[in-house]
Amino acid sequence: MAWSSGKDAAWALHLTRQSGELEIVGLLTTVSEAFGRVSMHGVRETLLEAQAAALGLPLHRVSIPAPCSDDIYGVLMRASLAQARADGVSHVIFGDIFLEDVRAYREARLREAGMTACFPLWLSDTTVLAHQMIESGLRAVITCVDPRQAPREIAGRAYDKELLDLLPDSVDPCGENGEFHTFVWDGPLLARPIEISVGETVERDGFLFSDLLPREHPQIAGNT
């Protein structure tokens, strides 16, 4: 499973498990070696590890430099996929929904590795999908916002129906155009909640990142 720590990857994993068509054997995540955080989502490795434990799946990290060129990223991912293929992995699951160029890129890289890319959410209506995830009990918080595309004030908020009501029509409800990214801390696929609190929000490289911290009881803005 190509694992971002966010809601779309989580829902794709959930649907795949429900279908029973594939056996999920691990999570593949790119982590910034400079910051010790999930790439783009900005989530601490400790929380990523807590997710993997709650999912009952081994975590396979691909450490990338910051910044990371496309060439270096390609080399590192090819090596990781080659190792997975040698270990018997035949498919990689992605949470992409409608970006054709992203899908084509992933499919090409997987073909090179002798593997198949799977897209359980492909061409889903993102408004319907967003409500399905929330109504299922999936709980997530927004960790990264592109303020050029989405309101700054949604950083650090719970991903819930109230949040969806706040989004302008120009923002995809699932953030599929890169408007925002999330971290899943509870839901039907997790054996237990990952207890967090929202820390400081900072701006870096044109994006807003809300730091998530482990805590005894989760308190997330907008969550009830």
Given a cut of 60, is residue 219 above it in pLDDT?
no
**183, 186, 205, 201: which is closest to 46 by C-alpha?**
183
Output DSSP code: residue 44. Answer: B
% of the chain exceeding 90 in pLDDT:
92
Q: Give the tens place of pLDDT for each residue, 10-41.
A: 999 999 999 999 999 999 999 998 899 999 89
Range with the poorest average pLDDT among 51-55, 171-175, 181-185, 213-217: 213-217
pLDDT value for 217: 45
Task: Report pLDDT for 221.
Answer: 52
Question: What is the reported pTM?
Answer: 0.93
Q: Select from 150, 158, 204, 187 the least CA-distant residue to 37.
A: 204
Produce one character per residue of 25-53: b if its CB has 16 or more CB atoms within 10 Å, e if not.
ebbbbbbbeeeebbbbbbbbbebbebbbe
Which residues, including other chains, have CB under 8 Å from residue 202's CB and lie 6 or more apart? 208, 209, 211
Domains, the chain: 7-118 (3.40.50.620), 126-214 (no CATH)
Opening angle at CA 82, ends 114 and 75, nearest 5: 110
Residue 191 DSSP one-character state: S
Closest CA to 40 of 143, 162, 161: 143
Interacting residues of 21 by C-beta distance below 8 A, sequence separation 6+:
none
| Residue 180 pLDDT level (bands cut at 50, 70, 90) | very high
Strands 139-145 and 180-186: antiparallel
Residues 158-178 have a mean pLDDT of 97
For 89-142, write each residue's pLDDT tens digit: 999 999 999 999 999 999 999 999 999 999 999 999 999 999 999 999 999 999
Distance CA 175, CA 40 (A): 13
Question: Residue 223: is its pLDDT beyond 50?
Answer: no
